[in-house]
């Protein structure tokens, strides 16, 4: 789970009375969770049913119609649970944020800074809530209906005023608790600071869009405002002071940017990873990898990388891979004497393989944007993923050998290896089902993700019997929270990116590249540098959507195929998972290892260098990533 590591308790815990909870208190605590659990399970079942229906019911009953309603209702439930999950994250103060300045403040200023953060967060949620209601009024005046079920659009769009209104309520509750903690003097100081920061956008007649956009974004991130909220607020400030877009556009885009069936693969793959972790599948994968590699120098680190490679073929998500595997291996490495910074850094780096080895959400988005075969992209990601894993394993081995970190000393035999394979058989079936379904043309990636989540749930509940009702609820809430943090980052990054597109920032950069040189070698080098920089501050999927139309003509103009470029761009942005400030793998690993982000980032520098080396190989030797595809 992407969380701040400030050490400040959530206001949900801080504001609880010692007396037994009242009925209102229980409702207040669990209100969102009811919808998250029921909503997530519903969309998993709907999409699994859609897949089974297509190949079972329709085959034996040719008169049966298509179950198109399942996709439609699932998309809208997905949007609802994504924004409801964000209010849970607000209660827990769970967010992707930069703590570099925050960690150097006194405790008093740290507490005051939370007032500042909550004020800015509240401004964005109230804005979207207000203009979300104007969308509802418009739909009341001009009713529209969904295609399949003929549901009035007013129902799915109601999440904007209700969801962001609920977030505002949670933020007000947090502000009340924080004000009691800070006192009136420090609260007044925080309110004055917020007013000073807001003043230029509100009082100035006009500010150039790009200084407003990037200036507010950098400032808000430095103050510890969650990155997604910083993206949204900097866009809002630019809209106000430069009138780049109608302000109503923010609310509309908050809905339309995530109203996408392919994007739904994200919570499904995350849920699959969470279910498999809680259900015992990831432990059995880890045990299998330990049988194979655990006796070597740095055995647990090697096992970690190998398990991340395999788990990447299940979850399709870097953060999910780090969360599922890191929760097991980071404490185990620390217990066996490994440096905790190395333990966190190797898991964060290996987790990036999750978007290279298929299935991969970035490859899906690029394939749609560039009209390239998603199947070919998936196959093309296998070799870069394996290469990344091998170089990280090599580094781990020599790094551990220099420090005499040995693997667990115990007898490993062919019989024990076969036993581990047998114990892991249910987990080993997952990539067969998922990838076989995708490559066989039986399932879309989103359907495969839903089937994987359903499979992991069934195995965890009925086969291994490690998921009970309480754990199931916790798993669903965790999956929704984790995916919501990413989904909201995508939505706000879309707003931010649209302003950049309007101001032609990517186009200006692309023209500058071609104006500078027509050399294929140099163009690819400059694009790699650009993508590495973009990956440090922009969410990967948003970057792909924005930059693909701009950069694709540039690379094809110098002889690079769209398929090859897709592998290059995703590998670049995978590296962005371990580069601050939007290095989400680092945030997850820091939450597990209890390490500072900057320390993890520093320890990961050699691993980052090796991943860049792999990037250069697949960039300049296209035969390497395209080897399995069969064409260039």
pLDDT classification of 12: cutoffs 50, 70, 90: very low
DSSP tag of 460: I
* Structure-token pair, residue 357: 């080895």
- SS3 of 242-271: HCCCCCHHHHHHHHHCCCCCHHHHHHHHHH
Query: Are 605 and 364 a contacting pair, CB within 8 Å?
Result: no
Query: Are 589 and 580 a contacting pair, CB within 8 Å?
Result: no
pLDDT for 252 beyond 60: yes
pLDDT classification of 338: cutoffs 50, 70, 90: confident
Note the pLDDT of residue 335: 75
If one compares 91 and 134, the residue with the highest pLDDT of the two is 134
Least confidently predicted of 26-35, 139-148, 517-526, 527-536: 26-35
- SS3 of 568-582: HHHHHHHHHHHCCCC
Q: Is 2 contained in some domain?
A: no
Same structural domain, 246 and 310: no
Place of tokens 């556009």: 249
Note the pLDDT of residue 556: 83
Q: Name the pTM for this structure.
A: 0.81
Q: Is 4 contained in some domain?
A: no
Task: For residue 196, give its domain range.
Answer: 11-256
Note the pLDDT of residue 569: 93
* Residues 241-260, mean pLDDT to the nearest whole number: 88
Note the residue count of the chain: 632
pLDDT for 88 beyond 90: no
Q: Is 625 contained in some domain?
A: no
Same structural domain, 268 and 250: no
pLDDT, tens digit, for every residue of 212-224? 988 998 899 888 8
- How big is the CA angle at 376 (ends 323 and 258), to the nearest 5 degrees? 50
Q: What's the number of domains the chain is made of?
A: 3
Same structural domain, 26 and 105: yes
Note the pLDDT of residue 66: 60
Q: Is 493 contained in some domain?
A: yes
pLDDT for 166 beyond 70: yes
Same structural domain, 457 and 553: no
**CA 271/CA 6 separation, integer angstroms:** 26
- Given 430, 449, 483, the domain boundary residue is 483
Rounded to a whole number of angstroms, the distance between the first and last alpha carbons of the chain is 38
Note the pLDDT of residue 95: 67
Same structural domain, 513 and 411: no
Q: Is 46 contained in some domain?
A: yes
If one compares 4 and 630, the residue with the highest pLDDT of the two is 630
φ, ψ of residue 142 to 5 degrees: the values are -125, 80
pLDDT for 76 beyond 90: yes
**CA 626/CA 624 separation, integer angstroms:** 6
Same structural domain, 244 and 160: yes
Helices (H), 204-246: 209-222, 227-242
Note the pLDDT of residue 3: 42
Note the pLDDT of residue 4: 43
* Residues 118-143, mean pLDDT to the nearest whole number: 94
The answer for residues whose C-beta is within 8 angstroms of residue 432's C-beta and 6 or more apart is none
Q: Tell which residue, 190, 177, 7, 189, has the closest CA to residue 99.
A: 7
pLDDT classification of 39: cutoffs 50, 70, 90: very high
Q: What is the DSSP string of 500-511?
A: HHHTTHHHHHHH
Sign of CA dihedral 40, 41, 46, 50: positive
Note the pLDDT of residue 627: 84
Same structural domain, 423 and 343: yes
pLDDT for 613 beyond 80: yes
pLDDT classification of 189: cutoffs 50, 70, 90: very high
* Structure-token pair, residue 285: 């994968």
Same structural domain, 50 and 199: yes
Query: Are 467 and 475 a contacting pair, CB within 8 Å?
Result: yes
Q: Is 627 contained in some domain?
A: no
* Residues 224-232, mean pLDDT to the nearest whole number: 85
pLDDT, tens digit, for every residue of 555-576? 887 889 999 999 999 999 889 8
Report the SS3 class of residue 150.
Answer: coil
pLDDT, tens digit, for every residue of 347-388? 999 988 888 887 777 887 788 778 887 778 888 888 999 999
Same structural domain, 407 and 501: no
Place of tokens 């000073």: 196
Least confidently predicted of 307-316, 411-420, 477-486: 307-316
pLDDT classification of 297: cutoffs 50, 70, 90: confident
Note the pLDDT of residue 473: 92
DSSP tag of 353: G
- Given 483, 509, 530, the domain boundary residue is 483
pLDDT for 119 beyond 90: yes
Q: Tell which residue, 304, 311, 324, 282, has the closest CA to residue 400.
A: 304
pLDDT for 15 beyond 60: no
Same structural domain, 235 and 279: no
Note the pLDDT of residue 11: 47
Same structural domain, 392 and 490: no
- How big is the CA angle at 189 (ends 87 and 193), to the nearest 5 degrees? 70
Note the pLDDT of residue 408: 67
Note the pLDDT of residue 10: 47
As beta bridge partners, residue 145 has 152
Same structural domain, 287 and 354: yes
- Give the gyration radius of the chain's Cα atoms: 24
Q: Is 224 contained in some domain?
A: yes
* Structure-token pair, residue 522: 């140099």
Place of tokens 């100081």: 189
Q: Is 630 contained in some domain?
A: no
* Residues 580-593, mean pLDDT to the nearest whole number: 78
Note the pLDDT of residue 26: 64
pLDDT, tens digit, for every residue of 458-473? 988 888 888 899 999 9
Highest mean pLDDT among 122-131, 483-492, 584-593: 122-131
Note the pLDDT of residue 123: 95
**CA 476/CA 225 separation, integer angstroms:** 26
Note the pLDDT of residue 65: 54
* Residues 54-68, mean pLDDT to the nearest whole number: 63
- Given 483, 501, 536, the domain boundary residue is 483
* Residues 235-251, mean pLDDT to the nearest whole number: 88
pLDDT, tens digit, for every residue of 588-598? 888 778 777 77
């Amino acid at each position: 789970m992407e969380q701040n590591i400030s050490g400040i308790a959530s206001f949900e815990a801080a504001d609880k009375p010692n007396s037994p909870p009242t009925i209102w208190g229980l409702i207040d605590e669990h209100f969102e969770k009811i919808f998250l659990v029921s909503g997530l399970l519903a969309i998993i079942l709907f999409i699994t049913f859609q897949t089974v229906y297509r190949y079972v019911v329709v085959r034996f009953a040719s008169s049966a119609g298509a179950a198109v309603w399942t996709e439609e209702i699932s998309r809208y439930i997905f949007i609802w649970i994504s924004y409801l999950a964000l209010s849970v994250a607000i209660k827990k103060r769970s967010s992707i944020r930069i703590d570099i300045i925050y960690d150097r403040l006194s405790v008093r200023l740290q507490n005051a800074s939370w007032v500042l953060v909550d004020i800015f967060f509240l401004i964005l949620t109230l804005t979207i809530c207000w203009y979300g209601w104007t969308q509802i009024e418009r739909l009341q005046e001009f009713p529209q209906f969904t295609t399949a079920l003929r549901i009035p659009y007013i129902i799915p769009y109601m999440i904007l005023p209700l969801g962001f209104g609920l977030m505002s309520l949670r933020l007000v509750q947090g502000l009340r608790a924080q004000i009691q903690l800070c006192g009136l003097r420090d609260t007044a100081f925080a309110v004055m600071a917020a007013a000073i920061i807001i003043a230029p956008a509100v009082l100035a007649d006009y500010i150039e869009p790009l200084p407003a956009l990037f200036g507010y974004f950098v400032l808000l991130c430095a103050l510890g405002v969650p990155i997604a909220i910083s993206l949204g607020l900097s866009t809002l400030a630019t809209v106000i002071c430069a009138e780049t877009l109608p302000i109503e556009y923010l609310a509309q885009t908050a809905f339309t940017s995530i109203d996408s069936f392919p994007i739904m693969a994200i919570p499904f793959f995350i849920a699959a990873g969470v279910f498999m972790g809680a259900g015992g599948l990831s432990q059995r994968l880890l045990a299998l990898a330990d049988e194979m590699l655990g006796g070597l120098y740095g055995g647990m680190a090697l096992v970690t990388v190998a398990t991340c490679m395999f788990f990447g073929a299940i979850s399709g998500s870097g953060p999910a891979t780090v969360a599922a595997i890191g929760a097991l291996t980071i404490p185990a490495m620390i217990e066996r004497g490994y440096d905790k910074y190395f333990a966190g850094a190797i898991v964060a780096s290996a987790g990036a393989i999750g978007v290279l080895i298929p299935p991969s959400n970035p490859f899906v988005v690029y394939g749609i944007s560039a009209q390239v075969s998603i199947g070919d992209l998936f196959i093309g990601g296998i070799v870069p993923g394996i290469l990344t894993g091998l170089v990280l394993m090599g580094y781990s081995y020599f790094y551990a050998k220099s420090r005499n970190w040995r693997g667990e000393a115990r007898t490993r035999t062919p019989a024990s290896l076969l036993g581990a394979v047998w114990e892991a058989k249910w987990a080993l079936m997952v990539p067969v089902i998922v990838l076989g379904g995708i490559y066989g043309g039986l399932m879309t990636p989103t359907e495969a993700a839903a089937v994987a989540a359903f499979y992991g749930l069934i195995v965890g509940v009925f086969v291994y019997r490690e998921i009970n009702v309480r754990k199931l609820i916790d798993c669903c809430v965790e999956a929704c929270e984790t995916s919501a943090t990413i989904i909201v980052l995508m939505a706000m990054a879309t707003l931010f990116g649209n302003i950049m597109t309007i101001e032609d920032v990517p186009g200006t950069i692309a023209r500058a590249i071609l104006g500078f040189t027509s050399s294929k070698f140099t163009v690819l080098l400059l694009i790699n540098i650009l993508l590495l920089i973009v990956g440090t501050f922009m969410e990967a999927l948003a970057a792909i959507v924005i930059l693909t139309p701009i950069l694709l003509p540039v690379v094809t103009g110098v002889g690079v195929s769209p398929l090859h470029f897709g592998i290059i761009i995703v590998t670049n942005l995978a590296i962005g998972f371990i580069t601050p400030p939007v290095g989400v793998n680092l945030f997850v690993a820091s939450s597990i290892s209890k390490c500072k982000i900057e320390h993890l980032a520093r320890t990961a520098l050699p691993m980052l260098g090796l991943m860049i080396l792999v990037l250069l190989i697949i960039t300049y030797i296209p035969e390497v990533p395209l080897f399995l595809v069969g064409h260039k």
